Amino acid sequence: MGSPKPRIEEPHTQVAVAPPAPEACAELLEDEALGTEAYAALDRMVGATLARATGGLSPAALTLALVDWSLHLAVAPGKRAELLDKAFRKTARFMAHVTQTLAAPETPPCIAPLPGDNRYRAPEWSKPPFSFWSQGFLLTQQWWHNAMHEVPGVSPHHEDVVAFVARQMLDVFSPSNFPLTNPLVVKRMMETGGANFWQGYRNWLEDATRKASGQPPASAELFKPGRDVAVTPGKVVLRNDLIELIQYSPATADVKAEPILIVPAWIMKYYILDLSPENSLIRRLVESGRTVFCISWRNPTAKDRDLALDDYRRKGVLAALDAINSIVPDQKIHATGYCLGGTLLSITAAAMARAGDDRLASLTLLAAQIDFTQPGELGLFVDDSQMHFLDSMMWDKGYLSATQMAGAFELLRSNDLIWSREVGDHLMGERRIVTDLMAWNADSTRMPYRMHSEYLRSLYLENEFTGGRLMVDGRPALFQNIRAPMFVVSTERDHVAPWRSVYKAHDFAEADLTFVLTSGGHNAGIVSDPREPKTHYRLALKHRDDLSLGPDEWVMRTHEQAGSWWTAWIDWLDAHSPDAAPPPAMGSAAFPPICDAPGTYVFQR
């Protein structure tokens, strides 16, 4: 064998590779971003299509809730045994009631409707066979409530969702919704010879036609802004692409030196606080010697899809404050926010405090939440899955339509806002007497895509404001930084901003806070005409250094007062702004009057 040949290593040749040009990198990144956006757009298109078919409700969210409940119920033999026991007990209870009622027709009912459920309050429901149907339904409803709640292991949100869906399905089959099982409809049929059904059909046809054509409900035209409502005299002194600012004409020889700014919610028209003259909080303030300004929001369209929540802060609240400073110089301002407007005002006030801006003399919040850990039943429509659907719908249209929002609010109070109307208008053949508040409720607005998405994600889902993570101008806006005294109003039957959630302002306030719990709901409780004999409220002041109380303990320690909270608020304002002065001019050189109140934005459809 020969010796192996030596292996000759060839020299390595290094080839210099030129780095890609910056323009090429930018193009690659741009192409990648466009590709990602295209995929996301496809998902949004599918989501928007599904949302149109489901009325905006996410099938995934409902399925997850149902699966969570059913799987945990399947592995909870104790809960199933409890439900079986309750079913036997309720059946025996119902049969005993039937037997006793047949022997003694005056036998009292075995179960009473829940508070606020007025379907079975009429005396006719106490007589057989109608009493049997109503009692059987209420017992069934109670059993399903037990079945939906306290299943071990189910997440609270999913529990609320399945309970809500079960309640909606049960309400469909309520005996009050069918002509032959509702004694009031049967009575009406006997009185009219069946003509009520013909009139009910005509009412239904008119309602369907109005809804299809985008017209307001019947008789809503009786309350036209500027003629019947929103008639407090004033001038529009500022108009930009988001708001009109109304300055109201003085009604007294002298006024309190410090003016009031009202920031209403932009989900509806501003004039809920300026309804009919006898039902107008703004008129009451003006007549008590106040200089009042109010924001009227523009109704956004698809072109406004990119309006952000911060635009509402800058072009809305801050722009209004700047105009008021020009018209009433050298005076602090009592800022008042209602519902979403109160949340926005709180964020604005917190950012102002961080920046050392002390223009606010006080802060009043009306049915407004700052903490969203307990958002109430609206939280049923806000989770990650539902947010994808809402985002897709708004991305597709550029806004959330008024009809979609109205549908969600109606579902929260379906007995009052859906079924009672169906029975009264379409089975009884009657028409409800439309009030100024009801007409206003039909005058809703749209919500721009970006703003509403930011609002729901940052506040409802992430609770960034009270969590200290909401950034304004690059710095966190903290409610704790506000030092102006506060007046916070909540309502007992609020389904939008539950009063215990509103009460959480106590947990974050570092200023004196006067809290009011008044009768009524989210709207009717705020519109509290002092002439109404049934109104009442509770009120207590918490100084900055006082010990905190829980909401239920607060109720026990306060006493109920008859009357309207309006009077208490005006007295509170008087105590915090004692100086009087001649009324300021209407507008200023920088902000001259543009037109008469109520302006032009209030008429936008």
C-alpha 200/C-alpha 501 separation (Å) is 41
Whats the size of the chain, residue-wise?
605
**Which tokens sit at 129?**
């066979």
Contact, 543 vs 512, CB < 8 A?
yes
- Pick from 247, 479, 235, 202: which is nearest to 365 by CA? 479
Annotated catalytic, 339? yes
C-alpha 471/C-alpha 338 separation (Å) is 22
C-alpha 142/C-alpha 158 separation (Å) is 19
- Pick from 258, 400, 252: which is nearest to 327 by CA? 258
C-alpha 75/C-alpha 72 separation (Å) is 5
Alpha-carbon Rg for the chain, nearest whole angstrom, is: 30
**Which tokens sit at 571?**
């007295």
Q: Which of 25, 110, 294, 339 is catalytic?
A: 339
Compute how many other C-beta atoms are within 10 angstroms of the C-beta atom of residue 186.
Answer: 14
Contact, 146 vs 83, CB < 8 A?
yes
Beta strands 513-518 and 486-491, pairing class: parallel
- Pick from 408, 407, 444, 410: which is nearest to 270 by CA? 444
Task: Give residue 330's region: left, alpha or beta (phi > 0; psi -120 to 50).
Answer: left
Residue labelled with tokens 């939440």: 369
Contact, 301 vs 398, CB < 8 A?
yes
End-to-end distance of the chain based on CA atoms, in angstroms? 102
Beta strands 486-491 and 580-581, pairing class: unpaired
Report, as residue numbers or ranges, the catalytic residues. Answer: 339
